[in-house]
Amino acid sequence: MCGIIGYIGDTNVLPILINGLHRLEYRGYDSAGVALLNENRLYLQRAAGKITALEQKLPADAPLSTIGIGHTRWATHGVPNEANAHPHCDCHQRLAVVHNGIIENHGVLRQELIDKGHIFQSQTDTEVLSHLFEEYLASGMPLSEAVRQGLLRVQGTFGLAVIDEETPDYLMVARNGSPLIIGHGQGACFVASDTAALVGLTDKVTFLDDGELAILSRNGVAVKTIDNRSVDTRVEIIDQNLKRIEKAGYPHYMLKEIMEQPQTVEDTMRGRLLEEECTVKLGGIGNDIDSLLYARRIILTGCGTSWHAALIGEYLFEELVGIPVEVEYASEFRYRNPIISEDSVVIAVSQSGETADTLAAVREARRKRCKVYGICNVVGSSIARETDAGVYLHAGAEIGVASTKAFTSQVTVLALITLLLGRMRSISSARGGELLRELQQIPQKIERILQQHEQIRALAEAYQDARNILYLGRGYQFPVALEGALKMKEIAYIHAEGYPAAEIKHGPLALIDKDMPVIVIATHDSIYDKILNNIQEVRARNGRVIAIATEGDQEIKKYAEHVIYIPDVLEPFAPLLTIIPLQLLAYDMAILRNCDVDQPRNLAKSVTVE
What amino acid occupies position 69? I
Note whether 206 and 234 are within 8 A (CB).
yes
Alpha helices in 294-350 (DSSP H): 305-316, 330-333
CATH superfamily, with its number, for domain 253-449: Glucose-6-phosphate isomerase like protein; domain 1 (3.40.50.10490)
pLDDT computed for residue 588 by the predictor: 98
Report whether the peptide linkage leading into residue 567 is cis, meaning its omega lies within 30 degrees of zero. Answer: no
Spatial distance between the Cα atoms of 269 and 413, rounded to a whole number of angstroms: 8
CATH of domain 3-238: 3.60.20.10
Strands in 10-120 per DSSP E: 31-38, 41-48, 67-73, 88-89, 95-100
pLDDT computed for residue 67 by the predictor: 97
pLDDT computed for residue 75 by the predictor: 81
Name residue 545's beta-bridge partners: 518
Closest CA to 151 of 97, 74, 207, 87: 97
pLDDT computed for residue 515 by the predictor: 87
Spatial distance between the Cα atoms of 255 and 251, rounded to a whole number of angstroms: 7
Domain with CATH 3.60.20.10 in the chain: 3-238
Note whether 184 and 194 are within 8 A (CB).
no
Start-to-end CA distance of the chain, whole Å, equals 10
Domain with CATH 3.40.50.10490 in the chain: 253-449, 452-598
Spatial distance between the Cα atoms of 279 and 362, rounded to a whole number of angstroms: 28
DSSP 8-state secondary structure symbol assigned to residue 572 = G
2 as an active site residue: the answer is yes
pLDDT computed for residue 104 by the predictor: 94
CATH topology of domain 452-598: Rossmann fold (3.40.50)
β-strand 297-302 against 344-350: which pairing, if any?
parallel
pLDDT computed for residue 608 by the predictor: 63
605 as an active site residue: the answer is yes
Element (H, E) at 184: strand 181-185
Note whether 309 and 416 are within 8 A (CB).
no
Quote the distance between the C-alpha of residue 14 and its chain's center: 28
pLDDT for 598-610, tens place per residue? Answer: 999 988 777 766 6
Biggest CA-to-CA distance, the chain = 81
pLDDT computed for residue 1 by the predictor: 67
Spatial distance between the Cα atoms of 82 and 428, rounded to a whole number of angstroms: 63
Give me the residues of the chain with pLDDT under 50, please.
Answer: none
pLDDT computed for residue 80 by the predictor: 86
Spatial distance between the Cα atoms of 195 and 379, rounded to a whole number of angstroms: 10
pTM attached to this predicted model = 0.90
Q: Which member of 2, 189, 278, 370 is catalytic?
A: 2
CA atoms within a 13 Å half-sphere pointing along the CA-CB vector of 515: 5
Q: Which member of 371, 405, 489, 605 is catalytic?
A: 605
